[in-house]
Structure 1
Amino acid sequence: MKRTAEAMGTTHSTDSSKGRGLTFPSTSDSQEDLLPVPLDIVEEIFLNLPPYLVVCVCRLVCHQWKKVADSESFWKERCRREGYGLSNASKKTEDWRLFYFLCKNRRNLLKNPRAEEDMNGWQIMENGGDRWAVNGIRVPHPDEAVQKNFITSFGMCKKSQLISLEKEGYNPSFMDQFQPTIRISDWYAQRTDCGCLYEIHVELLNQRKRPLQVFAPEVVYLKQWTEETWYQMTHVFQNYGPGVRYIRFTHGGKDTQFWKGWYGIRITDSCVEICPAVDT
């Protein structure tokens, strides 16, 4: 392995200041100093390196390494090894490298979406009636890991989160160039014995926090004696144009019979995620 590494122009170093124990040939080195290495061996080595190192360092060393680092087969194999596959076999992706990084960074950008930390992470916009409360779920949620929900009262209750995409690792140039799919979802339920209403309002905002695109469906009204079950609200933002820097997620509701206590809409498992378009 040492001989292979030297052939690729890398040497081990005990000086930690030289970048994670590896040194790379300087720009003054000639291509003749690099012994030819089969591309499949180069690819196998790259598959065992951190992905950011492959993109930001390895592909800049020489044309041979760049060819491997930019190849579809390399990123497709990386996806296979790390378990990132297409959820729909009938769909295809045109950019496996983008697909890989979107899958690797995919996560819920909302804090405390399941009420596991009381109201932490949420900004209270309206707190009517007996105010927001947190309690255990009344009927099983489709995801058995969900055990708590937020509950509204007889006055309007709304809460919100503002997501900074740059702070979450999605820099402006990436957002403007690729405009990755932004998927939102929210789960809500009512009590059988009391009618209630549910609202959701999600905005894609620019640097000045002005809306560029908005998802604001009609208010959902659930009548008294409606079966007590969980409903999911979903929406996908695509082709929204350049300039998106923030996402504001707001939702809430109340009961419609003005009963004292907490008989209004119940909300949990809210989600905002950036994901590959083929998975929506």
Structure 2
Amino acid sequence: MKRIRKKAYIMGASQSYDADSSPGPSAAPSASLSNEDLLPLPLDILEEIFLRLPAHQVVHPCRSVCHQWKAVADSESLWRDRCRREGYHLRDPSKVPKDWRLFYFLCKKRRNLLKNPRAENQMNGWQILDNGGDEWKIDNVREPHPNEVIQKNFVTSYGMCRKSQLIDLEVEGYNKSFMDHFQPEIKVSDWYAPRFDCGCEYQICVELLNQKKRPIKKFAPETVYFEQWNDQKWNQMTYVFQNYGPGVRYIRFTHGGKDSQFWAGWYGIRVTDSSVEICPAADT
């Protein structure tokens, strides 16, 4: 019972999903109202009522009212139906979530945690670590991106160019208890492309950091090299952090590169549409 209450607190009472999730004084049950005063409702009607309430109110305080309400608030059918109604579908229908309530809240919160990933707002949001050669530049894509919405990219020069972002998970709505208890999957993606007429290199490093910003887990594949006279096609780098243990409080995303022929200008690797997402395990 203690474990169940802890789970309910982490998912609802800690309020990491909605900024205005606190029910406030007016939402608290009257002290003079006992469970015996509540008339039992047919389960299908009670479930329909819960489906029309904000999700955080179902988890807390509705779940705490009585055994019947708790059973409905915890039911798989309630959260599966809520996912269906709000359009949270599995990308792979053959996979079934172990916990539909967790799947719902992760889908509800899912978004790219990186700022300005497509170079639409110059270099805003990025910390420049290395600005070699003729420095970073924003340019239009040379080769159409698989996602036709993307029209701009960051371009490196003949000296090493690297940029980084630090994501504070608690600021983004993923509190300490949630991260430690559930350890949701963290999906990283980055798109990179060379110029056809110049060799270049690409690097990426993504770290999961603790409260002191020391690495717990790291994704740092070998440098990718492109020869001169390549097809300048877009490539995608992806990775999913799983079972990384407790203590993750920040994510540091770093990428970049340079051209390998030391040509003045911007002939190095191009990057765009980078992303870091907290994902449901059944939907990565």
TM-score under structure 1 normalisation? 0.91
> For the residues of structure 2 that align with 1:35 and 1:44, how far apart are their CA atoms?
16
Opposite residue 141 of structure 2, the aligned amino acid is I
In structure 1, runs of 5+ residues without a counterpart are 1-17
Match of 1:161 among 157, 160, 165: 165
CA offsets, 1:149-191, max 9 Å, x none? 0000000000000000000000001000000000000000011
User: C-alpha separation between the residues in 1 aligned to 2:247 and 2:37?
Assistant: 45
Which residue matches 2:153? Answer: 149
Counterpart contact for 1:198–1:265, Cα < 8 Å: yes
Structure 1: distance between partners of 2:204 and 2:29: 55
Determine which of 117, 120, 127 is the counterpart of 2:121.
117
Decide which of 167, 170, 175 is 1:171's aligned counterpart.
Answer: 175
Residue aligned with 1:204, SS: strand
Q: Which moved more, 1:49-58 or 1:187-196?
A: 49-58
What is the SS of the residue equivalent to 2:167? strand
Identity of aligned residues (%): 70
Other structure's SS at 1:142 match: coil
What's the counterpart of residue 99 of structure 1? 103
Q: For residues 42-57 of structure 1, what are the structure 2 equivalents within 5 Å?
A: 42-57=46-61
- Aligned with residue 198 of structure 2, among 161, 179, 194: 194
Q: Distance in 2 between matches of 1:249 and 1:101?
A: 24
Q: Distance in 1 between matches of 2:170 and 2:245?
A: 17
Give the superposition deviation at 1:228.
1.4
SS of the equivalent of 2:79 reads helix
Counterpart selection for 2:259 from 255, 271, 277: 255
Match of 2:77 in 1: 73
Q: Is the 8 A contact 2:200 2:260 kept in 1?
A: yes
Q: What is the Cα deviation at residue 91 of structure 1?
A: 1.3
Q: What is the letter of the counterpart of residue 274 of structure 2? A: S
Return the TM-score normalized by structure 2: 0.90
RMSD: 1.4
> Are the aligned partners of 1:160 and 1:249 in contact in 2 as well (CA < 8 Å)?
yes
Unaligned runs of 5+ in 2: 1-21
The one of 24, 39, 44 aligned to 1:35: 39
Distance 1:269 1:24 in 2: 45
Q: Does the 8 A contact of 1:24 with 1:61 survive in 2?
A: no
Match of 2:11 in 1: none
Letter in 2 for 1:33: D
Counterpart-to-counterpart distance in 1, 2:156 and 2:28: 59
Alignment of 1:127-142 (within 5 A): 127-142=131-146
Distance 1:214 1:21, change over 3 A: closer
> Is residue 126 of structure 1 aligned with residue 95 of structure 2?
no
Q: Which moved more, 1:35-44 or 1:192-201?
A: 35-44
TM-aligned CA deviation for residue 35 of structure 1: 1.2
3-state SS of the aligned residue for 2:68? Answer: helix
Q: Deviations over 1:103-125 (max 9, x none)?
A: 01000000000000000000000
Name the residue aligned to 1:270: 274
Partner-residue secondary structure (3-state), 1:89? coil
Post-superposition shift, 1:88? 1.0
Structure 1 residue 277, shift from structure 2 partner = 1.1
Q: Quick one: which of 181, 185, 192 aligns to 2:185?
A: 181
Please tell me whether residue 61 in structure 1 is matched to residue 33 in structure 2: no
1:41-88 deviation per Cα after TM superposition (whole angstroms, max 9, x unaligned): 111011111111111211111211111111000000000101111111
